Chains A and B, each alone.
Chain A
Amino acid sequence: MADNAIAIHWRRYPERYLLRGCHCETCKTDFFPGRLFCPNCRRKGKMVSKEMPRTGKIVSFTEVFVGPIGFQHETPYFLALIDLGNKCMILSQIVDSPKEKIKTGAQVKKVFRKIQDTDHEGAIAYGYKFKVS
């Protein structure tokens, strides 16, 4: 894992804490995560910061039994692709939800949780997860 973890986490606080992405005022398109410029309008686009909807619908999901480094103590856990309703998709863990309710089409809402705490610098990363609403 990288040194300088604090800076790596800190620069993404707006995205991870507030679901802050961006919006192109020229073509009225939302983007998450935010991007430097609009791929539709290119240099003619005007990007402004924007918070994404905090609710969405599960598009696909998986239950992870073999976790990557940093997540091995959490298995099994659910990951889902979530449609935020503004043509943006987000990948997130689904937590605090009964297993039988985690399915395609289920409505979910954003919660704030610890994501990882195994960084060797001791930095704890927080951010978004979702739960079935």
Chain B
Amino acid sequence: MRSVSIIGAGQTAFGEHWNESFRDLIGKAGLMALESSGIEGKTIQAIYGGTMASGRFVGQEHIGALIADELGLTPLPATRLEAACASGGVALRNAYISVASGLYDVVAVGGVEKMTEISVEEAGFALGGAGDQETELFHGATFPALYALLARKHMEAFGTTEEQMAQVAVKNHYNAMFNPNAQFHREITIQDVMNSGYVASPLKLLDCSPISDGAATVILCETSKAKKISENAIEILASTQASDSLALTGRKSLTELMATKVAAKLDFEEAHLKPSDIDLAEVHDCFTIAEILAIEDLGFFKKGDGGKATEKGKTSLKGEIPINPSGGLKACGHPVGATGIKQAVEMFFQLNGLAKERQVKDAKIGLTHNVGGSGATAVVHIFKKAQVK
């Protein structure tokens, strides 16, 4: 396998884009990524796109061809990938494989979701498709409810508190203050979270990521070529993915996401690194409990210590391992198919020292972690600034 790097990255602001269509969003993110890479569109050899439920959200399928068309890149092969909220991460990994394998030298990979054109209830139903329709959704489960079941288990097993979970939201809202692309630019307090009303106990409204529109794109290039093209190339040191049961009832443990643990273990082996080598991470905080599970399952903290570590500020922008400097899914927003790519965009900014006020000091090696559903898919990538000659 050949080494692969990101040479350009672009992202629309996340939020409610009443003026912009699905097509506008992915087109804009694609152009921004091309602009950032400095290459011409005609250099690209293939296109990959991640979106979860465009058919449900905007009635549009056949997204691969749509992206190629919108970017004026027909007749390039264009492929859509879907893995619920991990659609972006899975698209990134498949684009990576296409370059690592030697098939292509330069490809574009985008993620997009346009979620605000239907009612919140309909959007919730569409997102429910990430779980098990017949044994979870049929019985009245929602995504907050599934994560609430994991949260209660974590609280009872390790003494994790609702305030510790709230601190995840407080931290991510703070980080988002410094991210112009974030959906929310509003600081919140633990008390705000505690008073925000139960959605599914113990999770409250401000424990949940929002419904968002947005798109993100990165350009991948074989590394030796990437170093010649761009001073900003960041190398993908490892790319791994794992699966688990679709429904929570099939899990061996409810205090971890096994798919995250397996993907992370393989990723660290592939990169010849350990968790303590990572300077920052963008993790999948669709709910606050999900960030606590992630920082444990990725190996940054011992199982059960995630809540306490968050409370002590270890995961804050200036902490020992800054988690979600972008604001995460919670505050940067979560247009589901775009999230996995946005995480890579954030790494591109951070590892190149371009993240301005939210810049993590001495950021050299970064990790991204994207989850589908309640943990049935997990994708982990590790990035490092490529040494430009």
The interface of chain A, by Cβ under 8 A from chain B, is: 12, 32-33, 59-72, 74, 77, 79-81, 88-93, 104, 115-116, 125, 127
Contacts and interface: CB of A to CB of B under 8 A. Distances in A.
A59 B153 contact: yes
Contact of A66 (B137, B153, B200): B200
Contacts of A61: 149, 152
B248 A72 contact: no
B144 interface: yes
Contacts of A70: 140
B135 interface: yes
B126 to A, nearest CB: 10
B91 interface: no
Contacts of A59: 153, 254
B72 interface: no
Contacts of A65: 197-201
- Judged by DSSP, the binding face of A is strand
B236 to A, nearest CB: 32
B199 A91 contact: no
A62 B145 contact: yes
Contacts of B124: 68-69
11 contacts: A32-B249, A61-B149, A66-B142, A68-B137, A69-B122, A79-B200, A89-B248, A89-B251, A91-B136, A91-B247, A116-B138
Contacts of A115: 138-140
A79 B150 contact: no
B149 A79 contact: yes
- Size bracket, chain B contacts: 35 or more
B142 A68 contact: yes
Given A61-B149, A72-B121, A81-B249, A66 B199 contact: yes
B40 interface: no
Contact of B139 (A32, A62, A72, A93): A93
A41 B199 CA distance: 41
Given A12-B134, A62-B201, A91-B139, 17 more contacts: A33-B134, A61-B152, A62-B145, A62-B202, A65-B199, A66-B199, A67-B142, A68-B121, A68-B140, A72-B121, A79-B149, A80-B149, A81-B254, A91-B136, A91-B247, A104-B152, A125-B138
Contacts of A68: 121, 124-125, 128, 137, 140-142
B156 interface: yes
B140 A64 contact: yes
Contact of B149 (A62, A71, A93): A62
B156 A104 contact: yes
B125 A69 contact: yes
A33 B136 CA distance: 11
B148 interface: yes
B249 A89 contact: yes
Interface in B71-127: 121-122, 124-125
Contacts of B201: 62-63, 65
A42 to B, nearest CB: 16
A71 B134 contact: no
Nearest to B153: A60
B135 A79 contact: no
Q: Which of A67, A93, A115, A125 has the most CB of B within 10 A?
A: A67
Contacts of B150: 60
A71 B153 contact: no
Contacts of A32: 249
Contacts of A33: 134-135
Nearest to A92: B139
Contacts of B135: 33, 90-91
B331 to A, nearest CB: 20
B254 to A, nearest CB: 6
Interface in B347-366: none
Contact of A60 (B134, B141, B254): B254
Contact of B140 (A12, A89, A93, A104): A93
Interface string B235-263: 00000000000011111001000000000
Nearest to A104: B156
Interface in B125-167: 125, 128, 134-142, 144-145, 148-150, 152-153, 156
A129 to B, nearest CB: 8
Nearest to B202: A62
